[in-house]
């Protein structure tokens, strides 16, 4: 499966062009808009692989690509806001309490503030990790149905998120992305080389990771349909 994911982009005749476009858009991600099209491409990868299409898509039909990217970005943003808000409240409250307690006659408030600060940082890490775990599945449900709201149908997402197949796909995908980052980091011995190459390596690795998510999603949805007496062909049209 890892080999399939790493070779996925090369199944397309124009894979070099795809990597060049994806890498350049990733490097221009600071301007936000290019990232939207990259996200749209990831949606296209998931949508293809969940239906067993082993040929990597191209960067075309930019209007559709942009709309898919915007919807995927909106889903990701909602998932990111919750842990950030919860952790932010705890961290700010902890800092304020610590500051007030530190100026008072007793260290009780300072200790309480320190605990709140620690809990806030821990919550940011844990909730952020959970959001990172859920976002690919949420995007996959959107990719299958074409509906943004599908990204928040937790009844549909829960069986996938709690499955060993999705967990394995997600962990493997993260490992591929981290490995790509390490390769790019090693190239930083040459000024700017790691940054430039990182855009292309990061895009390539991310496509491999989303390939794994799409495959896992497709397999799990087929299992679900068989268990309920349906067939894969009865999936909602895209």
DSSP 192: T
Q: What is the pLDDT of residue 228?
A: 52
88: Cα separation from own chain's centroid: 22
Number of other CB atoms surrounding residue 35 within 10 Å: 16
Q: Give buried/exposed letters for 69-98 (b at 16+ CB in 10 A, else e).
A: bbbbbebbeebeeebbeebeebbebbeebb
Please give the structure tokens belonging to residue 126: 């844990």
| Torsional class of 104: left (φ above 0), alpha (ψ -120 to 50), beta (otherwise) | beta
Tens digit of each residue's pLDDT, the chain (238 residues): 788 999 999 988 899 999 999 999 999 988 889 999 999 999 999 999 999 889 999 999 999 999 999 999 999 999 999 878 877 777 777 676 666 655 554 555 666 767 777 777 888 888 889 999 999 999 999 999 999 999 999 999 999 999 999 999 999 999 999 999 998 888 877 777 888 888 999 999 999 999 999 999 999 987 455 445 554 444 443 3
Q: What is the pLDDT of residue 79?
A: 94
For the chain, what percentages of helix, strand and coil (3-state, to nearest 5) are there? 85, 0, 15
Please state, in angstroms and rounded to a whole number, the distance separating the CA atoms of residues 62 and 195.
26
């Amino acid at each position: 499966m890892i080999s399939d994911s790493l070779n996925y982009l090369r199944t397309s005749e124009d894979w070099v062009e795809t990597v060049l476009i994806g890498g350049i858009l990733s490097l221009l991600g600071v301007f936000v808009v290019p990232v939207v099209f990259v996200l749209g491409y990831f949606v296209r990868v998931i949508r293809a692989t969940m239906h067993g299409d082993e040929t990597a898509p191209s960067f075309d039909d930019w209007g559709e690509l942009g709309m898919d990217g915007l919807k995927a970005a909106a889903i990701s943003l909602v998932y990111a806001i919750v842990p950030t808000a919860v952790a932010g409240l705890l961290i700010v409250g902890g800092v304020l309490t610590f500051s007030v307690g530190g100026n008072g006659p007793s260290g009780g408030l300072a200790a309480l503030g320190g605990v709140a600060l620690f809990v806030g940082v821990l919550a940011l890490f844990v909730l952020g990790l959970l959001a990172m775990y859920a976002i690919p599945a949420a995007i996959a449900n959107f990719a299958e149905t074409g509906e943004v709201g599908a990204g928040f149908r937790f009844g549909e997402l829960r069986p996938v998120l709690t499955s060993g197949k999705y967990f394995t796909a997600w962990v493997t995908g993260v490992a591929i992305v981290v490995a790509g980052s390490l390769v790019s980091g090693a190239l930083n011995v040459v000024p700017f080389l790691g940054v430039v190459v990182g855009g292309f390596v990061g895009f390539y690795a991310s496509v491999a990771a989303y390939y794994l998510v799409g495959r896992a999603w497709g397999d799990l949805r087929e299992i679900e349909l068989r268990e309920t007496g349906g067939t894969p062909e009865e999936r909602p049209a895209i």
